[in-house]
Chain A
Amino acid sequence: MASEREYKETLLKEILSETLPVALMEVCGTHTMAIARSGIRSLLPANLKLLSGPGCPVCVTAQGDIDTVIELAERPEVTLVTFGDMLRVPGSESSLQEARSRGADIRVAYSPLDALEIARHNPERQVVFLGIGFETTAPAVAVCIDQAREEGIANFSVLSLHKVVPPALEALFSDPEIRVDGLICPGHVSIVTGLEPYQELAGRYGKPCVVTGFEAVDILEGIVMLLRQLRQGEARAEIQYQRVVRSQGNPIARELIDRVFQTSEVRWRGLGTIPDSGLQLRPAYRHLDAYQRFNLQPKEDRPIKGCACGDVLMGKVTPHQCKLFGKACTPLNPVGPCMVSHEGACAAYYRYTPISAESGVKE
């Protein structure tokens, strides 16, 4: 499509004409992937930085929480159903995929609805759904929890490691050392939340926020909209992804989250604990809460010394400046979320590093 190509070139030209140093952060794992896939970073001028924030709910799952999940999955009566993303995330000693190779009944699903089906078809198993994800996924899990209660599916429960985005953004932006000028806001989380959380953020910290879609052209537009605000000294929340996101969000989805879950203080890998950032099942649903059913005890993290993910996520240091990068921490043996995510800041940097001398391939 010649006109779409021209349009992308126009947007790129606009972006490349920016001379001031600007750092923009995206806080959505899918944006990290989309940006990496589009190759846009290599086209940007040196003064324009695109930072990858703590927006991947998979990657920010604490090490201790993974240990809890693995221990549960290893119980002989338990069938753990999880999104595929979780298989590789490292616990202190192991991962879900390793546990599966040792005999744990761990199954990958595309939707929490699939987990309900598995529970219906296997009444003799205790089917536990691992709830991971932000506001995009939490309502879906809430629907399944409601459904299980309605149908009286006794062998189904949810282990909620769900988190919400705005408190993490608050934690980021309230740090005086943060070097971020504008925010590329998550496109699909915003379907649920609407614009309100970003309006508050923009108002309080004076940073423009643009809710952006995931096609290359969406990302280019989102960046252009942020740059325009910065040039004009504005700090508003606006929507680039208008074909999908409404400023009022999805009130039904929000109501469901609120009915089934309550917020709690939880650990984010690389960032530490953030108040009111986790979702746990409300007391009315305790019989569907895997923590209650299996009497799970929280496990401490055993953080590896030298992991600089927290600083990388804030944009304070680059991956190369982390002591573990490329040595104790590689994509095959990741430590922190920046490497756990296939397209996290560190994983992405690593791939651009020339292949080591061992394989005999020249740099």
Chain B
Amino acid sequence: MKEERILLAHGSGGLMSQQLIDEVFKKAWSNVFLDDMLDGALLELPAGKVAVSTDSFVITPLFFPGGDIGKLSICGTVNDLVACGARPLYLSTAFIIEEGLPVGDLEKIVASMADTAAQAGVKLVTGDTKVVERGSADGLFINTTGIGVIPEGIHYHPQRIQAGDRVIVTGNVGDHGLAILARREGLSFQTPVISDCAPLYEIGKKMEGFGGEVRCLRDPTRGGLATVLNELAQQSALGIHVREEDIPVSPVVRGACDMLGMDPLYMANEGKMVIFVSSQAAPEVVKELRQIPECAQASIIGEVVSEPRGLVLIETELGADRILATLEGEHVPRIC
């Protein structure tokens, strides 16, 4: 294909669509399922419960320090499957491309998805492409839907959480949110912080070894750690008590947040997991996690309590407890 930019014709189903699929997608992703070019993928799954997860990605800018929308689209769905307790196996991808997107950008994104998928051990087996008029999509929207299989004996669910369980976070929080924020137009600051975007299948594998001692996993994406903790407090009908000084935040992120009036606990993460485990297994779990490079700062940040139900309390540097609320409205830079 000779075009430098995606045209509406690339989405109309004819020759140009075929060219786009052959020369951009199939070239980067060739595998036995995709190459057949059927209307869907015919899969044989190992025995066990099947987990399905879907996510759409609309991030701007498309390329950011630490990743791009393609990498994010693989990691996001892979990590949701990991949080379900599943071994991620196959992903479908759907693209909504804005007319005018440079083909070179699309190729980079597609290549990034191939790399990330290979890293995560998943295959991209079927997909769809549409092109919409200029102005109807921020360059590119991607949806990925993933399938995984849950091994025997693994059952992660908020209802399995018990009072006394420990809460672990697998590393520094706030990195992704800050990396994206810094790229926004109108903010005159530069940060060395990059997105923590990463597939977390290794975490899933390690947690399998702990069987029923692990109660629940969840990834703290939009809304940050605070929002996810509140979700789980509500869904488990228990309380969560964390200590501010135990929550890992890098000094660079803290400094930037202090300046902008933002809170790292509400900033998005794309390469972290929150894990609820029994108190007995917790120290060993942290030790195992820290063997994974992305989890070098894995820490126990608190515990589950029977009261106050549905609320998250955070112990401050003065030793006082206050409520850690869920995110209300948008999280924006402030002066006050």
Contacts and interface: CB of A to CB of B under 8 A. Distances in A.
A40 B260 CA distance: 24
A216 B318 contact: yes
Given A83-B333, A137-B335, A114 B188 contact: yes
A88 B329 contact: yes
A88 B310 CA distance: 26
A85 B330 contact: no
Contacts of A49: none
B325 interface: yes
Nearest to B184: A108
B43 interface: no
B328 interface: yes
B112 to A, nearest CB: 29
Interface residues of B, number: 31
Nearest to A39: B320
B318 A39 contact: yes
B38 interface: no
Question: Most chain-B CB neighbours within 10 Å: which of A8, A41, A361?
Answer: A361
B interface majority secondary structure: loop
Given A40-B320, A42-B321, A43-B318, A354 B308 contact: yes
Interface in A282-336: 331-332
Interface string A330-357: 0110000000011000000001101100
Interface string B225-250: 00000000010010000000000000
A56 B328 CA distance: 19
Given A97-B329, A354-B308, A361 B234 contact: yes
A56 B317 CA distance: 24
19 contacts: A30-B336, A39-B321, A40-B320, A41-B320, A42-B321, A56-B336, A83-B333, A84-B334, A85-B332, A88-B329, A97-B330, A108-B333, A109-B187, A109-B333, A110-B189, A117-B186, A117-B188, A351-B325, A361-B234
Q: Which 7 A-B pairs have the closest CB atoms?
A: A39-B320, A84-B332, A361-B310, A39-B316, A39-B322, A29-B336, A114-B186
Interface of A: 8, 12, 29-30, 33, 36-43, 56-58, 81, 83-85, 87-88, 97, 107-111, 113-114, 117-118, 132-133, 137, 216, 220, 331-332, 341-342, 351-352, 354-355, 359-363
Interface of B: 186-189, 234, 237, 259-261, 308-311, 315-323, 325, 328-330, 332-336
Given A43-B319, A83-B335, A342-B328, 10 more contacts: A37-B322, A87-B330, A88-B329, A108-B333, A109-B333, A113-B188, A114-B188, A118-B186, A132-B335, A216-B317
